[in-house]
Amino acid sequence: METISENTCFGGTQGVYRHKSSSTGGDMTFGLFLPAEAQDGPVPILWYLSGLTCTHENAMTKAGAQAWCAEQGIAIVFPDTSPRGEDVADDAAYDLGQGAGFYVDATQAPWAPHFQMWTYIADELPALLGENFAIDLERQAITGHSMGGHGALTLAMGMPGRFKSVSAFAPISNPTASDWGKKQLSAYLGDDQSLWAKHDATLMMRETGFNGPVLIDTGTQDQFIDLLKPEALAEAANARRQQATLRLQPGYDHSYFFVASFIEEHVAFHADALYAS
C-alpha cells in the first residue's frame, strides 16, 4: 500500500492511500480520516460512498465530515466509485463506466474483469483497513450520496449484521424503476431483472429491511428527484414498519452544499449506534 498524502486534520490524520486491488484488478485509491483516539487503539468506522462522476476526493474535501468524526471519535473512509485506468472499460456517458460503478459486481462484458465494486467494498477494503489501521471492524456504519446512497442502503440490507446503522443523502432509491438504474444494471448484470433486485433499496426494504436505525435526507429542490424516487422507498419502509427517519428537506438540491448542511446530524446519528454496543 502506498501513502499518497497524510495531513493533520482536527487533531487526527486525513490520509490518501493507493493499493493494488485483487477484486478490481488494478490500483484503487481511498481517503481515510483517523481521529486522535486511533493513536490509543481501534476506533469505529463510518463508510462514505460517493455518487456518479466522483472519486475518493469529492466528499473528503467538500462534505466537512472530518470535524464531526473527530468530535465523535470515529474514523471515516472515502472509497473511489469505480476501478480506473487505461485498461479499464469505460463509456462516453457520465453515468456508466469509470466513475459510475454502482457498487455491484459486474457479470457482463466488457465490465466484468474490473467492475467488482460490491466485493471491493464488502470484503477487500475492510480487510485492508483492519490490517493496516486502528479500525474496529466490529463497529461499522455506512452512508453515501446519490449513487453512493444506493450503495450504502443495498450493502447494509444485503449484509445483515455488518453495519450498526445506515444513512443516505439523496439516494437512488428504486433503480430498477429509474433511468438511473435500468441502464447500469442491464449493462453490468445483464437483462435478467431478477438479478437486479438485490441492488434496489426499495425492493430490498420490502423483502428484508434493515435491523437497525435508518436516516435518509433528500432535498425538495433536488434536480434529480424524479430519478431518485424517494417516495418508493418511503412507501416500502412504511409497509414494512421499518425503524427509519426519512426527511424531505425544503429548498435543498443535489449538491454538496446539501450534504454539508446535514453531515453533522448524520455523523451523530451513526455515533449513537456505533457506541451503543
Domain with residue 216: its CATH number is 3.40.50.1820
CA-based R_g, the chain, Å = 17
Rounded CA gap, 59 and 49, in Å? Answer: 9
Residue type for position 208: T
pLDDT of residue 46: 98
- Dump pLDDT digits (tens) for 57-107: 999 999 999 999 999 999 999 999 999 999 999 999 999 999 999 999 999
What range defines the domain where residue 194 resides?
2-274
Q: What percentage of the chain has pLDDT greater than the value 90?
A: 100
Contacts of residue 152, defined as CB under 8 A and 6 or more positions apart, other chains included, come to 47, 49, 142, 143, 144, 166, 167, 168, 171
Which residues, given as ranges, of the chain have pLDDT below 50?
Answer: none
Number of structural domains (the chain) is 1
Query: Which residue numbers are catalytic?
Result: 146, 222, 254
Helix (H) or strand (E) holding 189: helix 179-189
